Amino acid sequence: MEFCDECGSMMKTAEGRWACESCGFEKSRDTGQEAEMTTTQDQEESEVVDMSETDEEAIGPTTSTRCPECGHDRARYEMKQIRAADESETRFFTCTECGQKWREDDH
């Protein structure tokens, strides 16, 4: 993946060059540098993990929050950084009663 030096947008390959679709900036491709880039191509699919026999305590922490589906007051949660590094993490919840999933962002 390459980002535009002019506007910061993600660039695409076009006729052996990197091209920015946002501002039109182009630059030569460096095959040596590209060989060091990490790709998802040819990687194995991750397997599904069966958590049905796992003790609830081992699955992850819980917190007091109201499920929007069933109204239960407990949910498992995890936090992930899915936006820019200077923005807060997103909280993902799973109701311990009905299994409903939802997310919460700071605005």
Neighbours of 34 (CB within 10 A): 13
pTM for the model: 0.45
Domain extent at residue 18:
2-34
Q: Which amino acid is at 68?
A: P
The domain that holds 90 is classified in CATH as 2.20.25.10
Comparing CA positions, the residue from 69, 79, 85 lying closest to residue 105 is 79
Condensed to tens digits (0 to 9), the pLDDT of residues 33-84 reads: 777 766 666 667 767 767 667 666 666 788 899 999 999 999 988 888 877 7
Count up the domains in the chain and report the number. 2
- Is there a domain that residue 75 lies in? yes
Condensed to tens digits (0 to 9), the pLDDT of residues 22-32 reads: 898 998 887 77
- pLDDT of 105 over the 70 cut: yes
Cα diameter, the chain: 56
pLDDT for residue 39: 67
Give the whole-angstrom CA distance, residue 88 versus residue 78. 13
